[in-house]
Amino acid sequence: MQSLTYLTLDKDVRQVRQQDVDAFAAQVSGGVLTAVDAAYDEARKVWNGTVDRRPALIARCMNDSDVQAGVRFAAAHRMLMSVRGGGHHIAGNAVAEGGLMLDMSGMRAIEIDAAKRTARVGPGALLGDFDRAAQAHGLATPLGINSTTGVAGLTLGGGFGWLTRRHGMSIDNLLSATVVTADGALRVASATSQPDLFWALRGGGGNFGVVTSFEFQLHPVGPEVYSGLVVYPFSQARQVLRAWRDFTMNAPDELSVWAVLRKAPPLPFLPESVHGKEVVVLPLVYCGKVEDGERVAAPVLKFGDPVGVHVGPTPYAGFQTAFDPLLAAGGRNYWKSNNFSSLSDAALDTVISSTAFLPGPECEIFMAQLGGAMGRVKMTATAFAGRDARYIMNVHGRWSDPQDDDKVRAWARRAFEEAAPHATGSGYVNFLTEDEAERVSMSYGVNYARLQEIKQRFDPDNLFRMNLNIAPAAPPFRRVAI
294-314 pLDDT tens trace: 999 999 999 999 999 999 999
Q: Is 242 exposed, middle or buried (0-12, 13-18, 19+ CB in 10 A)?
A: middle
User: Quick one: pLDDT at residue 481?
Assistant: 43
User: Quick one: pLDDT at residue 435?
Assistant: 83
CA–CA distance, 427 with 440 (Å, rounded to integer):
8
Residue pair 355/365 in contact by the 8 Å Cβ criterion: yes
Query: What residues contact residue 191 under an 8 Å CB cut-off, 6+ apart?
Result: 198
Residue pair 219/117 in contact by the 8 Å Cβ criterion: yes
Length of the chain: 482
Give the chain's mean pLDDT.
95
What is the DSSP-derived secondary structure letter of residue 192?
S
Question: 346-393: per-residue pLDDT in tens?
Answer: 999 999 999 999 999 999 999 999 999 999 999 999 999 999 999 999
User: Quick one: pLDDT at residue 254?
Assistant: 97
CA–CA distance, 197 with 455 (Å, rounded to integer):
9
CA–CA distance, 338 with 336 (Å, rounded to integer):
7
Q: 162-199 burial, b for 16+ CB within 10 Å, e for fewer? A: bbbbbbbbbbbbbebbbbbbbebebbebbeeebeebbb
**E-only strand ranges, 23-181:** 32-33, 57-60, 81-84, 100-103, 110-113, 118-121, 139-140, 174-180
CATH top class, domain 110-220: alpha beta
Q: At what angle do helices 345-355 and 405-419 cross, to 10 degrees?
A: 170
Strands 308-315 and 224-233: antiparallel
Q: What's the CA angle centered on 441, arms 450 and 405, to 5 degrees?
A: 145
Query: What residues contact residue 247 under an 8 Å CB cut-off, 6+ apart?
Result: 257, 299, 300, 303
CA–CA distance, 88 with 182 (Å, rounded to integer):
23
Residue intervals of the chain classified under CATH 3.30.465.10 are 110-220
Question: 122-178: per-residue pLDDT in tens?
Answer: 999 999 999 999 999 999 999 999 999 999 999 999 999 999 999 999 999 999 999
DSSP string, 238-270: HHHHHHHHHHHTT--TTEEE-EEEEEPP--TTS
Cα first-last separation, the chain = 50
According to CATH, what is the number of the domain 3-103? 3.30.43.10
For the chain, the C-alpha Rg in angstroms (whole number) is 23
Q: What's the CA angle centered on 444, arms 443 and 450, to 5 degrees?
A: 160
Q: How far is CA 87 from the centre of its chain?
A: 10
User: Quick one: pLDDT at residue 478?
Assistant: 43
Q: At what angle do helices 237-248 and 345-355 cross, to 10 degrees?
A: 140
According to CATH, what is the number of the domain 224-434? 3.40.462.20
DSSP string, 295-323: HHHGGGGGSS--SEEEEEEEEHHHHTTTT
Kindly list the distances between the CA atom of residue 439 and the CA atoms of 284, 341, 358, 426, 447, in Å, as whole numbers in the listed order. 30, 18, 25, 7, 14
What parts of the chain have a pLDDT lower than 70? 1, 476-482
Residue intervals of the chain classified under CATH 3.30.43.10 are 3-103
Query: What residues contact residue 398 under an 8 Å CB cut-off, 6+ apart?
Result: 327, 331, 332, 333, 360, 362, 363, 364, 408
Strand order in the sheet with 174-180: 110-113, 118-121, 210-217, 174-180, 186-190
Q: Which of 91, 219, 239, 237 is nearest to 161 (CA)?
A: 219
Look up the pTM and report it. 0.94
Residue intervals of the chain classified under CATH 3.40.462.20 are 224-434
User: Quick one: pLDDT at residue 1?
Assistant: 57
What is the DSSP-derived secondary structure letter of residue 1?
-
User: Quick one: pLDDT at residue 476?
Assistant: 62
Residue type, 467: N
User: Quick one: pLDDT at residue 474?
Assistant: 84
CA–CA distance, 200 with 197 (Å, rounded to integer):
5
Query: What residues contact residue 315 under an 8 Å CB cut-off, 6+ apart?
Result: 135, 222, 223, 224
